[in-house]
Structure 1
Amino acid sequence: MRIKDTAEEWRITATETPFVGNKTSARTDVVVMPDGTSVNRDYQVHPGSVAVLALDEQDRVLVINQYRHPVRHRLWELPAGLLDVPGENPLTAAHRELYEEAHVKAEDWRVLTDVFTSPGGCDEALRIYLARDLSDVEGERFEVAEEEADMEVARVPLADLVRGVLSGELHNTCLAVGVLALSAARAGDGIEALRPADAPWPARPFEA
């Protein structure tokens, strides 16, 4: 039996948005359950995001370290960002984030995996790309501010990151899912079997 998630939408009889922020909002839907009862479901409305697992020729992953206020931690993460430009192709956004956060470009791009980051309370869809054949970008660096002004960039062996995730020392969702997915891909059908960078993304449809 093939295990596969399926799209489905239960009937909504009312909805309201009590909070609208700069990038996200909070919504309450009244949803009809299978037994006919109605319940409130509160969740964060999110534009979606992309992350990049950039792997160099020495099998090191490019990671960044920055402060995340909601969890009161400095976290090691993959370069990532919101899909906050209307109609933007997610691959274009991934190129931009890799450039802005690490001043790096890549020639070989593939889809590593697609996930819903917290489907019980947020509609965020995340696409993680694998990027290889890395090189530094020439020219001026992107001007950083706020948390990013204190950001550290490093290259860490993939095996060390896998150990850090499994030991409970690394906690970022993009990083954990990305490095474990890459390890699984290598142990399975191989990187060449990964989906192409322009593969469809039903959770966040886009134009080529």
Structure 2
Amino acid sequence: MGIKDNAEEWRVTETKTPFVGNKTSVVTDAVVMPDGSTVTRDYQVHPGSVAVLALDEQDRVLVLKQYRHPVRQRLWEIPAGLLDIPGENPLRAAQRELYEEAHVKAEDWRVLTDVYTTPGGCDEAVRVFLARDLSDVEGERFEVSEEEADMELARVPLDELVRGVLAGDLHNNCLVVGVLSLAAARAAGALDDLRPAQAPWPARPFEV
């Protein structure tokens, strides 16, 4: 039997929502521990996200550099975005983000990995897709605003990104997870074994 996470839910005796924001909120739960004691746990409730590791025929990854105010840094990232609609199909959301942020479409989509970003304090789940067979989108481009209006786009060799991650020069979680997952899958000769793009996602159920 292989190693695998499993669903489990401890009893909650009280729930409060002290903060409700535009996209996320903060919940305070009173959770019963295995010894019978009750403790308070505060965490962020998040709609979930998708990210796209777009790999071109020259083995380059499409990345963008964007200002992230909470950490006061401009980070190199892969295209990503929120699941804006409850139950939204993650593949459709990923295709939208790749178009809106990079003006690119892809013909070959696979699930690269699924992660919880910070499960100790947030329920955000992210599905990272591998997108291949890329082409530029012709015609009218999506109008960006706020931080996205200042984004810098680039295509960087996968091996260079791996070195940057291991050197501590790249910090965005989706980029780090996506780059290392792709490198591991390719080293194992398992790219063709990646899950299909519409594979079930228990963390954020959706309809095909």
CA contact (8 A) 2:47 2:86 kept: no
TM-score by length of 2: 0.99
| Mapped partners of 1:139, 1:71: distance in 2 | 35
**Cα displacement string for residues 142-169 of structure 1 (whole angstroms, at most 9, x for unaligned residues):** 1111100100110000000000000000
Matched residue, 2:65: 65
Matched residue, 1:136: 136
User: What is the one-letter code of the residue matched to 1:135?
Assistant: S
| Mapped partners of 2:36, 2:87: distance in 1 | 37
Superposition pairs for residues 52-131 of structure 1, below 5 Å?
Answer: 52-131=52-131
Q: 1:85 Cα shift?
A: 1.7
Matched residue, 2:172: 172
Matched residue, 1:30: 30
| Mapped partners of 2:58, 2:153: distance in 1 | 16
Q: Which moved more, 1:180-189 or 1:48-57?
A: 180-189
Q: 1:36 Cα shift?
A: 0.4
**Cα displacement string for residues 26-51 of structure 1 (whole angstroms, at most 9, x for unaligned residues):** 00000000000000000000000000
Superposition misfits of 4+ residues, deviation over 2 angstroms:
none
User: What is the one-letter code of the residue matched to 1:104?
Assistant: V
After superposition, the CA RMSD in angstroms is: 0.6
Q: 1:86 Cα shift?
A: 2.6
| Mapped partners of 2:87, 2:3: distance in 1 | 31
| Mapped partners of 1:7, 1:203: distance in 2 | 10
**Cα displacement string for residues 128-183 of structure 1 (whole angstroms, at most 9, x for unaligned residues):** 00000000001111111110010011000000000000000000000000000000
User: What is the one-letter code of the residue matched to 2:170?
Assistant: L
How many pairs does the alignment contain? 208
Matched residue, 1:191: 191
Matched residue, 2:17: 17
Percent of aligned pairs with the same residue? 80
Q: Tell me the SS of whatever aligns to 1:93.
A: helix
| Mapped partners of 1:197, 1:85: distance in 2 | 19
Matched residue, 1:8: 8
Matched residue, 1:181: 181
Q: Unpaired runs of 5+ in structure 1?
A: none
Q: Which moved more, 1:27-36 or 1:185-194?
A: 185-194
